[in-house]
Amino acid sequence: MDSRRKELGEFLQVMRGRHAPEEFGFPAGSRRRAQGLRREEVAQLAGISPTWYTWIEQGRAVNVSAEALNRLAQTLRLTRGERAYIFELAGR
């Protein structure tokens, strides 16, 4: 299961990187270290704590609920296939 958690975290990181902050009303800013949304921004949009989202991305042993996965999928505008993939990786 550890490799699946790690893969889920890496996938979510890639998915948040493909969205411009301006798409969600956040300032683009020149101080961003990486392209895309920050972890804190994804957490805010999905209605989960930044710490919890960070743990998911880091592949820590947390039990991610189906509701949280749905909110992340909606926030990151995942396709049906991508949504199914994160559910599979999370063991849901």
Residue 35: what pLDDT? 81
Q: Which residues of the chain have pLDDT under 70?
A: 1, 30
Structural domains in the chain (count): 1
Q: What predicted TM-score, i.e. pTM, was given to this entire model?
A: 0.88
Here the CATH number for the domain that contains residue 77 is 1.10.260.40
- Structural domain containing residue 42: 2-89
Residue 31: what pLDDT? 76
Residue 28: what pLDDT? 77
Residue 22 C-beta-side C-alpha neighbours within 13 Å: 3
Residue 30: what pLDDT? 65
Residue-wise pLDDT for 20-34, tens only, equals: 888 898 887 767 777
Residue 51: what pLDDT? 96
